């Protein structure tokens, strides 16, 4: 923003480094020592930028949640038949997950040991419920199968989408493969594997 090239760390740039390490080693498995080595500065220097390890976690999951909830406010999530809105949310959730991959990855892995983690889990549950309501509407409108409970179907749908964080890595060049993944998710979710 202010400077095109920044040599020193900002909370934001430090966060990017920290999140990478968190995802590689797990949050609990990451020490300030690990972070300092990855950032190339000393442990104590980190405390100049952030209050501690948990603040880094808070910023990271906050960013992920922002991205996800933002989807629900987009036009495609509010207009038209429920099944169309659900398809839109499915597509966009997958896209956001890939765009904000390290942040969402971290969000999906919190276990509830600290208050920050519990807050993140709570908000995530909120998001799931919003989508579950959408799915329920689509069943009521007769566009989705009624022989699978809405809550269960939502969980399996998210299970499929969220599993991307376990293996998806952004391709160096074009986002052609990203689009391919999104298409696969939507196809399999709505129409299944069968030919």
Partner DNA sequence: GTCTATACCGTGATAGAC
Partner DNA sequence: GTCTATCACGGTATAGAC
Which residues contact its own copies by CB under 8 A? Answer: 24-26, 28-29, 111, 113, 135, 142-149, 152-153, 155-164, 166-167, 180-181, 183-185, 187-195
- Find the shortest distance in angstroms from Cβ 115 to DNA: 13
From the list 15, 17, 23, 53, which residue makes contact with DNA (rule: CB under 7 A)?
53
Q: Which two tokens stand for residue 194?
A: 């069968």
- Find the shortest distance in angstroms from Cβ 8 to its own copies: 30
- Find the shortest distance in angstroms from Cβ 113 to DNA: 11
- Find the shortest distance in angstroms from Cβ 126 to DNA: 27
149 in Cβ contact with 93 (< 8 Å) = no
- Find the shortest distance in angstroms from Cβ 28 to DNA: 8
52, interface contact from DNA, its own copies, none, CB < 5-8 Å by kind: DNA
Question: Residue 147 in 3-state DSSP?
Answer: coil
Q: Which two tokens stand for residue 135?
A: 């799915």
Instruction: Report the alpha-carbon distance of residue 117 to residue 136 in Å, rounded.
Output: 28
Longest dimension (CA), the chain: 60
From the list 20, 54, 128, 137, which residue makes contact with DNA (rule: CB under 7 A)?
54
- Concatenated DSSP letters for 146-160? SSS-HHHHHHHHHHH
Instruction: Report the alpha-carbon distance of residue 150 to residue 127 in Å, rounded.
Output: 15
CB atoms under 10 Å from CB of 28, counted, come to: 11
Rounded to the nearest 10 degrees, the angle between the axes of helix 115-140 and helix 101-109 is 100
5, interface contact from DNA, its own copies, none, CB < 5-8 Å by kind: none
DSSP 8-state code for residue 5: S
Binding flag, residue 9, DNA (CB under 7 A): yes
| Residues 30-49 within binding reach of DNA (CB under 7 A) | 30-34, 36, 40-45, 47-49
Burial code (b: 16+ CB inside 10 Å, e: under 16) for 111-130 equals: eeebebbebbeebbeebbeb
**CB of 34 or CB of 109, closer to DNA:** 34
Binding interface with DNA (CB under 7 A): 8-9, 30-34, 36, 40-45, 47-49, 51-54
């Amino acid at each position: 923003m202010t400077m095109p090239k920044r040599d020193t760390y900002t909370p934001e740039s430090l966060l990017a480094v920290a999140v990478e390490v968190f995802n590689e080693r797990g949050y609990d498995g990451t020490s300030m020592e690990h972070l300092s080595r990855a950032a190339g500065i000393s442990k104590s220097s980190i405390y100049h930028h952030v209050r501690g390890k948990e603040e880094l976690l808070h910023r990271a999951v906050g960013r992920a949640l922002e991205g996800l909830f933002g989807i629900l406010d987009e036009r495609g999530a509010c207009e038209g038949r429920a099944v169309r809105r659900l398809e839109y949310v499915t597509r966009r959730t997958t896209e956001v997950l890939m765009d904000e991959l390290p942040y969402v990855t971290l969000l999906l892995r919190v276990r509830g040991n600290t208050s920050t983690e519990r807050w993140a889990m709570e908000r995530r549950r909120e998001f799931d419920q919003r989508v579950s309501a959408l799915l329920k509407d689509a069943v009521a409108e007769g566009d989705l199968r009624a022989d699978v409970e809405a809550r269960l179907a939502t969980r399996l749908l998210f299970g499929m989408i969220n599993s991307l964080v376990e293996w998806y890595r952004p391709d160096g060049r074009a986002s052609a493969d990203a689009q391919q993944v999104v298409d696969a998710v939507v196809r399999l979710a709505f129409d299944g594997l069968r030919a």
